[in-house]
Structure 1
Amino acid sequence: MPKLTDTQSLILSRAASRPGNLAMPLPEGLHGAAAQKAVTAMITRGWLEEVDADLRRGEPLWRETGDGHGTTLIATEAGLEAIGIEPVAASAVASVRKANPQPDAEPTPTTEAPGQPKPVAIRAGTKQAQIIALLQRPEGASIAEIVEATGWLAHSVRGLISGGLKKKLGLPITARKIDQRGTVYKLDAA
């Protein structure tokens, strides 16, 4: 894992908890040249990316481009990995952002629709990350196999798969009955 300063860790961890991995607003007290230096170093390392700000959604500006538009900062997959968030979670967040393109003709509502999944970050070393790794195997994983690996009860595993992984993260998990294994869940590569 790369060596991060406290400021860089704070910026990336806050971005991981925000919808769309927005790194703005920066931590309180980080202004001017110090903010410019920290952000430039993070962009150079590939941890942050400057993207067009959607002013209709109220995204905070990093800088104005001079043509009536502005940019904001988002954490990249590399930035999320730098703070220990597994690549599958980072790509799930990125795929949710790409899968919901905003049409230019219609105004974007300022609040999120209740039916849309909210991007969520996964910390490395958690049970959820462990279950995702089991589901990514070519053979997938059955409920019994996940129960054995995590020590959870079967209903907790099923709840995480349907609620946490499918609904909340929007991961493409398939289920198939296989003789002598029961229902096998598999996370298809996107």
Structure 2
Amino acid sequence: MAKFELTDIHSLILSAAATRPDGNLLPPPEGLGELSEQLRASYSDLVRHKFAAEIETDASDQIWRSEEGKTYGLVLTDKGKAAAAEQTPAVAKTVKKIDTVFDLLRREQGATLTELVDATGWLPHTTRAALTRLRKKGHVIDKATRDSATCYSITAAA
């Protein structure tokens, strides 16, 4: 059986749950948005690989699924807690990089792709993907030209 690899989304979910006293995985961490089908798939992965377990809950913001009049949420298992502890430095680093991207995009002159790549250490295609994710989250990102290079800036927040 192939080893299960945690994605960045899995790591963010686990790390956020580890900071909650009750270990709940829901609601989703800030920035991941609503419980979309793609996000549901990530939660399903965590349950299937025993990083999380279902529990009954009445808290409306912690409902994962309902069946026969009962509602269920998700909590960290011991395996999930251990994985969160291992992932926390990497997740913190990723969040710090996103903050750096926001800071650069909020400058009056915005930021070029090269400036974003230099500041984050990401590859250009990863940086472009991050910009796309920001757009999908509702941020308005304008493009302009500065010294013959495309320059990006956030004009409205989500």
Normalising by structure 1, we get a TM-score of 0.39
- Bigger Rg over Cα: 1
Greater helix proportion: 2
Greater strand proportion: 2
